[in-house]
């Protein structure tokens, strides 16, 4: 059975903001590299967790308006998630690099495969909160009727 064409206008894509911890260890650096790649692939837009920690009002407002906040933490310290939480921002998807089987080490001890593992986990929806996953299922994973005039199924 052929797949139904999907909307190509981008109007119904989830709006996500991605906060990587970007710590000094390899897993922190991986969180940042994965966030950059995810941004380039159209998954969301990378934002600075350090700026968020300063209470930057525009960044907080933007994070409150997106469909999903994605937090990528390097290790179990979960600094980026704590920073977001301190600003009243809940993560809809939270991944910890060490929980994906990547060992914490010096800043340059990682491979391209490690980046791909993280990126793939995000696209698969790993680390989603139950609330976010439930809302996705109820909406069929997309919003209907964008009214964009495209020939796809919005």
Reported as a single tens digit per residue, the pLDDT across 36-45 is 999 999 999 9
Reported as a single tens digit per residue, the pLDDT across 81-130 is 999 999 999 999 999 999 999 999 998 999 999 999 999 999 999 999 87
Whether residue 146 is contained in a domain is answered as no
Whether residue 8 is contained in a domain is answered as no
Would you state the pLDDT for residue 13? 73
Whether residue 152 is contained in a domain is answered as no
Whether residue 119 is contained in a domain is answered as yes
Q: What is the DSSP letter of 128?
A: B
pLDDT band (50, 70, 90) for residue 131: low
Whether residue 144 is contained in a domain is answered as no
Percentage with pLDDT > 90 across the chain? 73
Sign of CA dihedral 105, 125, 148, 65: negative
Contact assessment for residue 115 and residue 30, using Cβ atoms and an 8 Å cutoff: yes
Query: Is residue 2's pLDDT more than 50?
Result: no
**CATH number, domain containing residue 81:** 3.40.50
Q: What's the predicted TM-score (pTM) here?
A: 0.79
Sign of CA dihedral 135, 136, 141, 146: positive
Residue range(s) defining the domain that contains residue 129: 16-138
pLDDT band (50, 70, 90) for residue 150: very low
For residue 58, what are the CA distances in angstroms to 10, 62, 81, 94?
24, 6, 19, 22
Element (H, E) at 72: strand 68-73
Whether residue 10 is contained in a domain is answered as no
Whether residue 90 is contained in a domain is answered as yes
Pick the range with the lowest mean pLDDT from 25-34, 51-60, 72-81, 144-153.
144-153
Alpha helix (H) residue ranges in the chain: 26-40, 49-53, 57-65, 79-86, 112-124, 130-138
Domain total for the chain?
1
Whether residue 153 is contained in a domain is answered as no
């Amino acid at each position: 059975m052929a797949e139904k064409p999907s909307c190509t206008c981008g109007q119904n894509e989830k709006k996500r903001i991605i906060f990587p911890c970007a710590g000094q260890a390899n897993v922190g650096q991986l969180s940042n590299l994965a966030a950059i790649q995810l941004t380039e692939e159209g998954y969301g837009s990378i934002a600075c967790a350090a700026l968020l920690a300063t209470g930057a009002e525009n960044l907080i407002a933007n994070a409150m308006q997106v469909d999903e906040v994605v937090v990528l933490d390097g290790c179990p310290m979960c600094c980026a998630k704590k920073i977001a939480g301190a600003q009243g921002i809940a993560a809809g998807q939270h991944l910890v690099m060490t929980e994906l089987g990547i060992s914490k080490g010096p800043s340059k001890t990682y491979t391209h495969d490690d980046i791909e593992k993280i990126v793939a986990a995000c696209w698969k929806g790993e680390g989603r909160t139950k609330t976010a996953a439930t809302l996705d299922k109820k909406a069929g994973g997309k919003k209907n009727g964008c009214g964009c005039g495209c020939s796809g199924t919005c």
